[in-house]
Protein backbone atom coordinates (compact mmCIF):
# COMPACT_ATOMS: atom_id res chain seq x y z
CA UNK A 1 0.00 0.00 0.00
CA UNK A 2 1.29 3.44 -0.99
CA UNK A 3 0.11 6.49 0.94
CA UNK A 4 -0.53 9.38 -1.47
CA UNK A 5 1.14 12.47 0.01
CA UNK A 6 -1.13 15.38 -0.87
CA UNK A 7 0.94 17.84 1.13
CA UNK A 8 4.09 17.10 -0.88
CA UNK A 9 2.36 17.28 -4.27
CA UNK A 10 0.50 20.46 -3.26
CA UNK A 11 3.80 22.07 -2.28
CA UNK A 12 5.21 21.12 -5.66
CA UNK A 13 2.27 22.81 -7.43
CA UNK A 14 2.63 25.92 -5.27
CA UNK A 15 6.37 26.08 -6.00
CA UNK A 16 5.61 25.86 -9.74
CA UNK A 17 3.13 28.74 -9.46
CA UNK A 18 5.57 30.84 -7.42
CA UNK A 19 8.36 30.28 -9.95
CA UNK A 20 6.04 31.18 -12.85
CA UNK A 21 4.82 34.36 -11.14
CA UNK A 22 8.42 35.48 -10.51
CA UNK A 23 9.58 34.52 -14.01
CA UNK A 24 6.74 36.22 -15.89
CA UNK A 25 7.20 39.52 -14.05
CA UNK A 26 3.95 41.07 -15.28
CA UNK A 27 3.06 44.69 -14.49
CA UNK A 28 0.68 43.53 -11.76
CA UNK A 29 0.93 40.30 -9.76
CA UNK A 30 -2.01 37.86 -10.02
CA UNK A 31 -4.96 39.25 -8.07
CA UNK A 32 -7.62 37.08 -6.40
CA UNK A 33 -10.82 38.52 -4.91
CA UNK A 34 -12.38 36.27 -2.27
CA UNK A 35 -15.94 37.10 -1.19
CA UNK A 36 -17.24 35.73 2.10
CA UNK A 37 -20.75 36.46 3.38
CA UNK A 38 -21.68 35.94 7.03
CA UNK A 39 -19.66 34.55 9.93
CA UNK A 40 -19.47 30.80 9.35
CA UNK A 41 -16.33 29.65 11.26
CA UNK A 42 -15.41 26.95 8.72
CA UNK A 43 -15.63 29.45 5.85
CA UNK A 44 -13.43 31.88 7.78
CA UNK A 45 -10.80 29.16 8.22
CA UNK A 46 -10.90 28.19 4.54
CA UNK A 47 -10.49 31.81 3.45
CA UNK A 48 -7.60 32.29 5.89
CA UNK A 49 -5.83 29.23 4.45
CA UNK A 50 -6.44 30.33 0.85
CA UNK A 51 -5.19 33.83 1.61
CA UNK A 52 -2.01 32.60 3.27
CA UNK A 53 -1.23 30.14 0.46
CA UNK A 54 -1.90 32.80 -2.18
CA UNK A 55 0.40 35.34 -0.60
CA UNK A 56 3.18 32.76 -0.28
CA UNK A 57 3.24 32.23 -4.07
CA UNK A 58 3.01 35.93 -4.96
CA UNK A 59 -0.75 36.27 -5.52
CA UNK A 60 -2.42 39.36 -4.10
CA UNK A 61 -5.64 38.64 -2.22
CA UNK A 62 -8.57 41.01 -1.79
CA UNK A 63 -10.46 39.58 1.17
CA UNK A 64 -14.01 40.92 0.95
CA UNK A 65 -15.91 39.95 4.09
CA UNK A 66 -19.56 41.02 4.20
CA UNK A 67 -21.26 40.39 7.53
CA UNK A 68 -24.62 41.29 6.00
CA UNK A 69 -25.50 41.53 2.32
CA UNK A 70 -28.49 41.30 -0.02
CA UNK A 71 -28.71 39.28 -3.23
CA UNK A 72 -28.73 42.49 -5.25
CA UNK A 73 -25.70 44.05 -3.56
CA UNK A 74 -23.70 40.84 -3.95
CA UNK A 75 -24.64 40.70 -7.64
CA UNK A 76 -23.50 44.32 -8.04
CA UNK A 77 -20.20 43.57 -6.29
CA UNK A 78 -19.48 40.67 -8.65
CA UNK A 79 -20.36 42.75 -11.71
CA UNK A 80 -17.92 45.44 -10.54
CA UNK A 81 -15.16 42.88 -9.97
CA UNK A 82 -15.79 41.45 -13.45
CA UNK A 83 -14.88 44.86 -14.90
CA UNK A 84 -11.97 45.51 -12.53
CA UNK A 85 -8.91 45.13 -14.75
CA UNK A 86 -6.43 44.06 -12.05
CA UNK A 87 -8.76 41.31 -10.72
CA UNK A 88 -7.80 37.98 -12.32
CA UNK A 89 -9.87 35.62 -10.19
CA UNK A 90 -13.16 35.89 -8.30
CA UNK A 91 -14.07 33.31 -5.68
CA UNK A 92 -17.32 33.22 -3.71
CA UNK A 93 -16.76 31.17 -0.57
CA UNK A 94 -19.48 28.55 -0.24
CA UNK A 95 -21.89 27.89 1.30
CA UNK A 96 -23.66 31.22 1.06
CA UNK A 97 -26.47 31.90 3.57
CA UNK A 98 -29.64 30.07 2.55
CA UNK A 99 -31.52 33.17 1.37
CA UNK A 100 -29.12 33.63 -1.57
CA UNK A 101 -29.63 32.19 -5.04
CA UNK A 102 -26.15 30.65 -5.11
CA UNK A 103 -26.45 29.34 -8.65
CA UNK A 104 -27.29 32.79 -10.00
CA UNK A 105 -24.44 34.36 -8.00
CA UNK A 106 -21.84 31.90 -9.29
CA UNK A 107 -22.96 32.30 -12.89
CA UNK A 108 -22.58 36.08 -12.72
CA UNK A 109 -18.80 35.60 -12.45
CA UNK A 110 -16.99 36.17 -15.74
CA UNK A 111 -15.98 32.62 -16.81
CA UNK A 112 -12.45 33.93 -17.44
CA UNK A 113 -12.26 34.95 -13.78
CA UNK A 114 -14.06 31.85 -12.46
CA UNK A 115 -11.07 30.29 -10.68
CA UNK A 116 -13.33 27.77 -8.91
CA UNK A 117 -14.60 26.41 -12.24
CA UNK A 118 -18.22 26.45 -11.06
CA UNK A 119 -19.91 28.53 -13.79
CA UNK A 120 -22.18 26.71 -16.21
CA UNK A 121 -19.90 27.79 -19.07
CA UNK A 122 -16.78 26.22 -17.57
CA UNK A 123 -18.68 23.10 -16.51
CA UNK A 124 -20.16 22.76 -20.00
CA UNK A 125 -16.77 23.12 -21.65
CA UNK A 126 -15.37 20.46 -19.30
CA UNK A 127 -18.03 17.95 -20.36
CA UNK A 128 -17.37 18.85 -24.00
CA UNK A 129 -13.64 18.21 -23.37
CA UNK A 130 -12.71 21.77 -24.30
CA UNK A 131 -10.15 24.03 -22.65
CA UNK A 132 -11.60 25.54 -19.48
CA UNK A 133 -11.02 26.22 -15.80
CA UNK A 134 -11.58 23.00 -13.87
CA UNK A 135 -12.97 22.85 -10.32
CA UNK A 136 -10.05 22.78 -7.88
CA UNK A 137 -10.72 19.52 -6.01
CA UNK A 138 -11.22 17.29 -9.09
CA UNK A 139 -8.25 18.97 -10.81
CA UNK A 140 -6.17 18.29 -7.70
CA UNK A 141 -7.18 14.62 -7.68
CA UNK A 142 -6.10 14.24 -11.30
CA UNK A 143 -2.74 15.80 -10.47
CA UNK A 144 -2.28 13.36 -7.57
CA UNK A 145 -3.02 10.37 -9.81
CA UNK A 146 -0.59 11.63 -12.45
CA UNK A 147 2.16 12.33 -9.91
CA UNK A 148 1.95 8.74 -8.72
CA UNK A 149 1.76 7.40 -12.30
CA UNK A 150 -1.60 5.77 -11.65
CA UNK A 151 -3.09 4.63 -14.92
CA UNK A 152 -6.54 5.99 -15.76
CA UNK A 153 -7.25 4.94 -19.34
CA UNK A 154 -9.42 1.83 -19.52
CA UNK A 155 -9.87 1.66 -15.74
CA UNK A 156 -13.18 1.30 -13.96
CA UNK A 157 -13.74 4.47 -11.90
CA UNK A 158 -16.53 4.63 -9.32
CA UNK A 159 -17.39 8.04 -7.85
CA UNK A 160 -19.56 8.14 -4.74
CA UNK A 161 -21.23 11.56 -4.69
CA UNK A 162 -22.71 13.63 -7.53
CA UNK A 163 -22.16 17.25 -6.44
CA UNK A 164 -21.30 19.98 -8.93
CA UNK A 165 -18.19 20.69 -6.87
CA UNK A 166 -16.63 17.21 -6.97
CA UNK A 167 -18.67 14.31 -8.35
CA UNK A 168 -19.84 15.62 -11.73
CA UNK A 169 -16.64 17.41 -12.81
CA UNK A 170 -14.65 14.40 -11.57
CA UNK A 171 -16.69 12.14 -13.84
CA UNK A 172 -16.07 14.42 -16.83
CA UNK A 173 -12.31 14.49 -16.21
CA UNK A 174 -12.20 10.71 -15.99
CA UNK A 175 -14.28 10.27 -19.14
CA UNK A 176 -11.98 12.68 -20.95
CA UNK A 177 -9.09 10.41 -19.97
CA UNK A 178 -10.85 7.30 -21.34
CA UNK A 179 -11.91 5.72 -18.06
CA UNK A 180 -15.19 3.84 -17.64
CA UNK A 181 -17.13 5.85 -15.07
CA UNK A 182 -19.98 5.07 -12.67
CA UNK A 183 -21.46 7.76 -10.42
CA UNK A 184 -23.18 6.55 -7.25
CA UNK A 185 -25.44 8.56 -4.95
CA UNK A 186 -28.13 8.24 -2.27
CA UNK A 187 -30.55 6.51 -4.68
CA UNK A 188 -28.03 3.94 -5.95
CA UNK A 189 -29.12 0.37 -5.40
CA UNK A 190 -26.50 -2.01 -3.99
CA UNK A 191 -23.75 0.56 -3.48
CA UNK A 192 -21.40 -2.10 -2.13
CA UNK A 193 -21.59 -4.05 -5.39
CA UNK A 194 -20.79 -0.92 -7.42
CA UNK A 195 -17.85 0.04 -5.20
CA UNK A 196 -16.37 -3.46 -5.37
CA UNK A 197 -15.98 -3.06 -9.14
CA UNK A 198 -13.80 0.02 -8.84
CA UNK A 199 -10.17 0.09 -9.90
CA UNK A 200 -10.25 3.71 -8.71
CA UNK A 201 -12.77 4.62 -6.00
CA UNK A 202 -13.38 8.32 -5.31
CA UNK A 203 -15.57 9.16 -2.32
CA UNK A 204 -17.10 12.59 -1.67
CA UNK A 205 -20.28 12.32 0.39
CA UNK A 206 -19.49 13.89 3.77
CA UNK A 207 -20.25 10.84 5.92
CA UNK A 208 -17.48 9.79 8.31
CA UNK A 209 -15.90 6.37 7.66
CA UNK A 210 -18.83 5.39 5.43
CA UNK A 211 -16.78 3.24 3.03
CA UNK A 212 -15.72 0.07 4.83
CA UNK A 213 -13.21 -2.63 3.92
CA UNK A 214 -15.86 -5.00 2.56
CA UNK A 215 -16.78 -2.35 -0.08
CA UNK A 216 -13.29 -2.10 -1.58
CA UNK A 217 -11.68 -4.66 -3.84
CA UNK A 218 -8.11 -5.83 -3.33
CA UNK A 219 -5.58 -3.54 -5.00
CA UNK A 220 -7.95 -0.62 -5.61
CA UNK A 221 -6.87 3.03 -5.62
CA UNK A 222 -8.96 4.93 -3.05
CA UNK A 223 -9.29 8.73 -3.08
CA UNK A 224 -11.03 10.12 0.01
CA UNK A 225 -12.41 13.65 -0.45
CA UNK A 226 -14.35 13.78 2.83
CA UNK A 227 -13.46 15.97 5.79
CA UNK A 228 -15.44 15.02 8.88
CA UNK A 229 -15.14 14.66 12.65
CA UNK A 230 -15.32 11.19 14.21
CA UNK A 231 -16.81 10.21 17.56
CA UNK A 232 -13.62 11.46 19.27
CA UNK A 233 -13.78 14.80 17.40
CA UNK A 234 -10.76 13.87 15.29
CA UNK A 235 -10.56 14.68 11.59
CA UNK A 236 -11.45 11.74 9.39
CA UNK A 237 -12.58 11.08 5.85
CA UNK A 238 -15.50 9.29 4.22
CA UNK A 239 -13.41 6.11 4.18
CA UNK A 240 -12.66 3.88 7.17
CA UNK A 241 -8.96 4.43 6.57
CA UNK A 242 -7.54 2.07 9.17
CA UNK A 243 -9.38 -0.97 7.84
CA UNK A 244 -9.52 -0.05 4.14
CA UNK A 245 -5.85 0.95 3.66
CA UNK A 246 -4.37 -2.60 3.85
CA UNK A 247 -6.48 -3.62 0.81
CA UNK A 248 -5.40 -0.68 -1.37
CA UNK A 249 -2.58 -0.21 -3.84
CA UNK A 250 -2.81 3.57 -3.23
CA UNK A 251 -4.89 5.62 -0.78
CA UNK A 252 -5.16 9.26 0.31
CA UNK A 253 -5.12 10.05 4.04
CA UNK A 254 -7.35 12.59 5.82
CA UNK A 255 -5.97 15.07 6.59
CA UNK A 256 -3.03 15.49 4.21
CA UNK A 257 -4.46 13.97 1.05
CA UNK A 258 -6.90 15.77 -1.25
CA UNK A 259 -7.39 18.84 0.97
CA UNK A 260 -4.03 20.56 0.32
CA UNK A 261 -4.46 19.96 -3.42
CA UNK A 262 -7.69 21.97 -3.54
CA UNK A 263 -5.92 25.11 -2.32
CA UNK A 264 -2.88 24.48 -4.55
CA UNK A 265 -5.03 24.17 -7.68
CA UNK A 266 -6.77 27.42 -6.78
CA UNK A 267 -3.33 29.06 -6.93
CA UNK A 268 -2.71 27.45 -10.31
CA UNK A 269 -6.11 28.48 -11.69
CA UNK A 270 -5.56 32.09 -10.56
CA UNK A 271 -2.14 32.23 -12.21
CA UNK A 272 -3.53 30.72 -15.43
CA UNK A 273 -6.37 33.29 -15.44
CA UNK A 274 -3.85 36.12 -15.21
CA UNK A 275 -1.63 34.60 -17.89
CA UNK A 276 -4.54 34.33 -20.35
CA UNK A 277 -5.34 38.00 -19.80
CA UNK A 278 -1.93 38.92 -21.19
CA UNK A 279 -2.02 36.53 -24.14
User: Minimal CA–CA distance to 122: which of 269, 271, 225?
Assistant: 269
3-state secondary structure 48-91: HHHHHHHHHCCCEEEEEEECCCCHHHHHHHHHHHHHCCCCCEEE
Give backbone dihedrals phi and psi of 252, rounded to 5 degrees, phi first: -95, 140
Rounded-to-5 percentages of helix, strand, coil across the chain = 45, 15, 40
Distance CA 230, CA 236 (A): 6
* Catalytic residue from among 88, 113, 114, 116: 116
Residue 50 designated active-site: yes
Buried b (16+ CB within 10 A) or exposed e, 255-277: ebbbbbbbbbbbbbbbbbbbeeb
Distance CA 62, CA 52 (A): 12
* Catalytic residue from among 93, 114, 125, 240: 93
User: Minimal CA–CA distance to 173: which of 216, 232, 220, 223?
Assistant: 223
DSSP 14-54: HHHHHHHHHHH--SS--EEEEEEES--HHHHHHHHHHHHHH
Residue 39 designated active-site: no
Residue 55 designated active-site: no
Instruction: Report the catalytic residues.
Output: 50, 93, 116
Amino acid sequence: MVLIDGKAVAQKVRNEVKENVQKDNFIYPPHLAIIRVGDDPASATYVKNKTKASQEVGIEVEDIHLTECTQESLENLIENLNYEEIVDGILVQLPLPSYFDSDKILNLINPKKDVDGFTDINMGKLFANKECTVACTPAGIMRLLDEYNIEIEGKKVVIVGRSNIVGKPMAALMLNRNATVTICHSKTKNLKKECLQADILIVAIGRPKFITADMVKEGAVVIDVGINRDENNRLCGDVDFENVAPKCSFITPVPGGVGPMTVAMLMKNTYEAMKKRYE
